[in-house]
Amino acid sequence: MRRRDFVKGIAGSAIGWPLAARAQQGATPLIGFLSSRSPNESEALVAAFRQGLAEAGYAEGQNVHLAFRWAEGRYDRLPELAAELVKSQVAVIASVGGSVSALAAKSATGTVPIVAVASDPVKAGLVASFNRPGGNITVVSPSSTLLSAKRLGLLRELVSTATLIGVLLNPKYPDSATQLEDIEDAAHAIGVQIQIVNASSEQEIDAAFASLS
């Protein structure tokens, strides 16, 4: 639900500025939606995105058009898909699926506005700094380190006798090193041990949980 709220907020607020500018030029704006995931696993996020647009006064097919590009877990395809959106003359690119999608969009254009979600936009190289981000990217940051500490803290409260907490991680995700560092820092801060188990596909998740057991 938290991720859905972020995506809804992206559509309803930050994207509104470039859309309004394009509409003033007399053209129906086109929004590029770039995701590292597949459409099947993103139905709820797409619904939230459309809801956010509707609440901001934009209805698909009436005063705005959407162009979706899905990498379906193949991160190497993101630069090509981002370039396609830029070539389509989108008014703005909504990047979903972590910093890897946003970096692909950033590499594709220095002028088209990009709105993205990233745990640490500075560390990922999306913006220069929080105070002076510069560039053409607006990033919503849920502050991964703080959330990691919060998640581990809640687990510790639920199972107060736990001395070892399992962590499921996708090692093929380009930002996995940052995620792991955040989790390790959080575990150290609250004084718990963690066991990292890797899963790079949906099929590997069951086996990962079995190994934790």
- Cβ partners under 8 Å of residue 61, min gap 6: none
If you ran DSSP here, which 8-state letter would residue 119 be given?
Answer: S
User: What domain range includes position 89?
Assistant: 2-140
pLDDT at site 1: 42
Ordered per-residue pLDDT tens for the chain, 213 residues: 456 666 776 776 667 666 665 655 667 889 999 999 999 989 998 999 999 899 888 899 999 999 999 999 899 999 999 999 999 999 999 998 888 999 999 999 999 999 988 777 877 888 887 678 888 998 877 655 556 777 888 888 898 888 899 999 888 876 788 778 888 988 888 888 999 999 988 788 889 988 988
If you ran DSSP here, which 8-state letter would residue 71 be given?
Answer: -
Query: Is the same domain home to 75 and 135?
Result: yes
Final residue of a structural domain among 112, 140, 168 = 140
d(CA 69, CA 36): 9
> pTM of the entire structure?
0.67
d(CA 56, CA 4): 16
Query: Is the same domain home to 169 and 77?
Result: no
Query: Is the same domain home to 93 and 119?
Result: yes
Give the 3-state secondary structure percentages of the chain, helix then strand then coil, rounded to 5.
50, 20, 30
Query: Is the same domain home to 127 and 156?
Result: no
Distance in Å from the first CA to the final CA of the chain: 27
pLDDT at site 190: 83
Judge contact between 94 and 11, C-beta under 8 A: yes
